[in-house]
Amino acid sequence: MEQEVSDFVLFLGRFHPLILHLPIGFLVMATILEGVSRLKRFDEYNKAVELVLLLGSLSAVAAALLGYMLAQAGGYGEQLLIIHQWSGVGVAVASAGAYLLKRYNRNRSSALMDRAYLSLLTIMVIALGIAGHYGGSLTHGSDYLTQYMPNGLRTVAGLPPKEEKGFKKITNLEEAAVYNDIIDPIFETRCTSCHNQNKKKGELQMHTRQLLMKGGEGGPIIVEGEADKSEMIKRINLPEAHDDHMPPEGKRPLTSEYKKLLEWWVNSGAPFEKRVSELKRSKEIQSALNTLVDPQANMSPAEKLLASDIDPVESKVQTELQKHGVDLRPVSDRGHWLQADIKKEHSVDSLLVMLKKVSPQLTWLDLGETTTTDKALQPIREFPNLTRLHLQNTRITDKGLSELAGLANLEYLNLYGTAVTDAGIQQLEKLDNLTKLFVWRTQVTQEGAQDLQETLPNLKVYLGAEKKSVALENDSK
Ligand code: HEC
């Protein structure tokens, strides 16, 4: 069945969707004119019918020819295509016939011929409806019209109630069916819109197990047990801008977790009947699997905080703070979390007292390079949502650090170039979420850093270039 089709034919075929609107317009218009002109008041419109029918049938023939060329490109469901094709041909033939009869009837008035003409016109309109409907199904999928139909109407129309496509929430991960609960939903949400019974892009259909394993134009897309050799895995791992990347550029891409899970499934032999507990899982796969149960499973506490929502700050407050040298900006384009930078030349003595107005929203605070002292830092304990704090090159000492002990969400702390010592940073030992601490150019020693890291295993202490970094030593272990 495969035969070479010239590029020029395919090029012309692409004009089908453009041209097809002409016969629809002309032929519907001809029918309306014909109907209306049968009323005495509008009988002069009758003269126009012949011309409009001629234009309609010529453009219908053109649309049918171009449609035939488009079909050579393949990728359309067989059955829908046949119905569409033949109803399209029906439109062309019926409209040409109607035109000829209209011409023939011009000067004669035979009731029989008029009835034949009207019958042909009716057939033409019906064929037009069928061709249009199936054409729409070919391009948009057969559920295009009904996809968003409310459930009430669906019942009336005899359709089953809407099913939630894609992921059902997984509660018991060990018992979950690897294919049905994890792999197939990924295909359903990201692939089958183009690889199904109606649209077979690349001759590939992914909506049933058999067709998935059969593969596409280039043969099987899955080599059981060998993800590296599987066309499907190769394609999802290509750079997004690459022509062969799947899903194609502009479509919602696969998350890195989904990619890993598909790879895992193929490497496990692409089984259809196994449960999660029956397959080997690396740590990385386990953490990808965990996100199916809880989307926030792999987020740090700070990321979870930022993923939650908070009320916005009044713009009045924002402008007022701006006047005092506080640059307030949203942390991201979603949510209302704020970061504050303080202009260096401004006095910071009572600044934190003023900032209390935005303390629930404030999550990043940059006091770096300012004259902040231990005393000015005191109100910091009333900023529970701080995740990042810059205090580099300020005047704070160990005493100031004791104020930070309650900042449970703090993840990043920069103390570069301050007078803090080993004793000072020990006061941070309750900050379970601290992962980055910068103490270059301070009195902190390697031993002091090591001590703190023993209490806080997720912490990296950055001592800088002069002293051997504890962080590096930890990594090489
Ligand atoms: C927007 C439509 C679209 C979506 C969505 C899409 N694809 Fe495709 N796919 C295509 C087109 C078009 C081709 C044929 C052109 C080509 O080979 O790149 C194709 C071809 C393929 C092929 C090669 C088939 C062969 O044998 O030549 C594979 C494998 C594939 N897709 C996998 C996927 C996977 C996996 C997903 C979901 C993650 C996906 N596709 C989602 C449009 C799509």
Span between the terminal Cα atoms of the chain, in Å: 61
Residue 384 preceded by cis peptide, ω within 30? no
Does any ligand 1 atom lie closer than 6 A to the CB of residue 246? yes
pLDDT in tens, 186-217: 999 899 989 998 889 999 999 999 999 999 99
The answer to whether 230 touches 240, Cβ cutoff 8 Å, is: no
The angle subtended at Cα 443 by Cα 408 and Cα 427, nearest 5°, is 25
Nearest to 436 by CA among 297, 284, 302, 283: 302
pLDDT band at 76 (very low <50, low <70, confident <90, very high): confident
Cα–Cα dist 129/306, whole Å: 52
Q: Of 98 and 467, which is predicted with more confidence?
A: 98
Q: Which of 78-82, 157-161, 219-223 is modeled with the greatest confidence? A: 219-223
476 pLDDT exceeds 60? no
pLDDT band at 474 (very low <50, low <70, confident <90, very high): very low
Cα–Cα dist 374/351, whole Å: 13
pLDDT in the model for residue 105: 86
Mean per-residue pLDDT, 137-150? 70
Does any ligand 1 atom lie closer than 6 A to the CB of residue 232? yes
Q: State the chain's mean pLDDT as an integer.
A: 88
pLDDT band at 144 (very low <50, low <70, confident <90, very high): low
Residue 276 token pair: 């999660």
Does any ligand 1 atom lie closer than 6 A to the CB of residue 266? no
What distance in angstroms lies between residue 194's CA and the mean position of ligand 1's atoms?
7
pLDDT in the model for residue 8: 87
What distance in angstroms lies between residue 49's CA and the mean position of ligand 1's atoms?
47
pLDDT in the model for residue 165: 58
180 pLDDT exceeds 90? yes
What distance in angstroms lies between residue 241's CA and the mean position of ligand 1's atoms?
14
Strand partners, 219: 216
Ligand 1 atom nearest to 250, measured from its CA: 1
pLDDT in tens, 156-169: 766 665 554 567 77
Does any ligand 1 atom lie closer than 6 A to the CB of residue 313? no
Question: To test the ligand 1 pocket, which listed residue (189, 190, 204, 257) has its Cβ within 8 A of the most ligand atoms?
Answer: 204
Does any ligand 1 atom lie closer than 6 A to the CB of residue 231? yes
The answer to whether 408 touches 432, Cβ cutoff 8 Å, is: yes
pLDDT in tens, 439-457: 999 999 999 999 999 999 9
Q: What is the fold of 315-476?
A: 3.80.10
The angle subtended at Cα 383 by Cα 378 and Cα 389, nearest 5°, is 80
pLDDT band at 342 (very low <50, low <70, confident <90, very high): confident
400 pLDDT exceeds 70? yes
- Measured by CA distance, the residue closest to atom 7 of ligand 1 is 247
Residues 6+ apart with CB under 8 A from 470: 446, 449, 450, 453, 460, 461, 463
Residue 210 token pair: 């058999």
Q: Of 172 and 165, which is predicted with more confidence?
A: 172
Q: How many residues can be counted in the chain?
A: 477
Question: To test the ligand 1 pocket, which listed residue (194, 199, 207, 257) has its Cβ within 8 A of the most ligand atoms?
Answer: 194
219 pLDDT exceeds 90? yes
pLDDT in the model for residue 1: 40
pLDDT in tens, 242-278: 999 999 988 888 999 999 999 999 999 999 999 999 9
What distance in angstroms lies between residue 297's CA and the mean position of ligand 1's atoms?
30
Does any ligand 1 atom lie closer than 6 A to the CB of residue 217? yes
Ligand 1 atom nearest to 202, measured from its CA: 14
pLDDT in the model for residue 379: 93
